[in-house]
């Protein structure tokens, strides 16, 4: 029998990379999806990969460094991603932050000649289920960039079914109604005082009281309000805390290297929310620390402590 001719082995193709489906990270815009993949390595242990662009319209560079908000948003997107893929949380269930803490190494945040590729190793604990569905979970993150440590973080959040969320929000769960009744954005703080170029990106409005601002919820902002939501989103509140800390810290200390925040109430659109910053004693390394609170109807909605550093201090 004649031998069959064997075709030459095809050339080795490069590994193909794309972002994860936007639905997994609760984003409407494909361009705002940061994770590029995920896999489970052990029970309740996962690895998420992500990529940052060298330049972004909102997450702008901070003294040659990637914006720490880009790191926080990458972590935030990992929460629904792993909830849906790792724990089978149905689409339509809502996630609410309870607490978030993050510490980063500024030298690992430097912008290079190529996009930044990240690996997030995630350990999950404190898992609570209700009627077979994920109801609450804690996640710990060890984040590297090209194999070098970049940040650590931990967070806890709860998950609500549509019916539970409707009861929790007590008639406020409709995004269209919430946005229709939103207060118009108050005038912004001059952008250059907060490390911004555009007033559109400023989320604080000045008041007559030092270190006290009104939150600007500009619901037309394409990044902070990527999709309609019935309450002030977490990314807006984190940016408000960051801008308040920057306004309070000594000149040049623009990089929030440590953040610890706890959330206790939803922030609504139809009433003023007040952001107050209080300087704290420096940390053991002498870096400025600021305590930031958000209050609405005289009740604290969230409280954050930020430690800032000059980007010039880490080359």
Query: Looking at the structure, do residues 178 and 315 belong to the same domain, yes or no?
Result: yes
**Closest by alpha carbon to 257, among 57, 25, 62?**
62
CA dihedral of residues 263, 101, 231, 202 (deg, nearest 10): 120
> Binning pLDDT at 50, 70 and 90, where does residue 251 land?
confident
Query: Looking at the structure, do residues 125 and 57 belong to the same domain, yes or no?
Result: yes
pLDDT reported for residue 311: 85
State which residues form the domain around 62: 16-169
pLDDT of residue 102 exceeding 70, the answer is yes
pLDDT of residue 5 exceeding 70, the answer is no
The pTM is what?
0.93
35 lies in a domain?
yes
> What does the pLDDT average to over 187-196?
94
pLDDT reported for residue 253: 85
Of residues 1 and 307, which shows the higher confidence score? 307
22 lies in a domain?
yes
pLDDT of residue 219 exceeding 50, the answer is yes
What does pLDDT average to over the chain? Answer: 94
Domain with residue 179: its CATH number is: 3.10.129.10
């Amino acid at each position: 029998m004649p031998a069959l001719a064997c075709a030459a082995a095809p050339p080795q193709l490069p590994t193909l990379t794309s972002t994860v489906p936007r639905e997994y990270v609760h984003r409407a815009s494909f361009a705002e999806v940061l994770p590029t993949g995920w896999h489970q390595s052990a029970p309740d242990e996962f690895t998420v990969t992500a990529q940052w662009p060298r330049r972004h319209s909102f997450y702008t560079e901070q003294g040659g460094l990637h914006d720490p908000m880009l790191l926080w948003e990458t972590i935030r997107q990992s929460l629904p991603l792993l909830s849906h893929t790792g724990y089978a949380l149905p689409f339509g269930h809502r996630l609410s932050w309870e607490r978030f803490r993050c510490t980063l190494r500024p030298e690992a945040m430097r912008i290079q000649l190529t996009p930044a590729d990240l690996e997030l190793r995630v350990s999950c604990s404190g898992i609570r289920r209700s009627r077979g569905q994920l109801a609450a979970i804690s996640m710990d993150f060890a984040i590297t960039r090209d194999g070098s440590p970049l940040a650590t973080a931990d967070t806890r959040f709860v998950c609500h079914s549509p019916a539970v969320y409707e009861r929790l929000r007590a008639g406020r769960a409709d995004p269209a109604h919430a946005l229709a009744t939103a207060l118009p954005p108050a005038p912004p703080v001059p952008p250059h005082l907060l490390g911004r170029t555009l007033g559109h990106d400023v989320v604080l409005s000045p008041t007559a009281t030092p270190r006290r601002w009104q939150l600007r919820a500009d619901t037309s902002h394409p990044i902070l309000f990527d999709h309609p939501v019935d309450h002030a989103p977490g990314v807006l509140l984190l940016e408000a805390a960051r801008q308040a800390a920057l306004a309070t810290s000594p000149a040049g200390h623009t990089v929030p290297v440590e953040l610890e925040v706890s959330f206790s109430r939803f922030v609504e659109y139809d009433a003023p929310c007040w952001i107050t910053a209080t300087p704290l004693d420096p940390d053991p390394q002498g870096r400025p620390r600021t305590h930031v609170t958000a209050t609405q109807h005289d009740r604290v909605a969230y409280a954050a402590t930020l430690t800032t550093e000059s980007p010039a201090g880490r080359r």
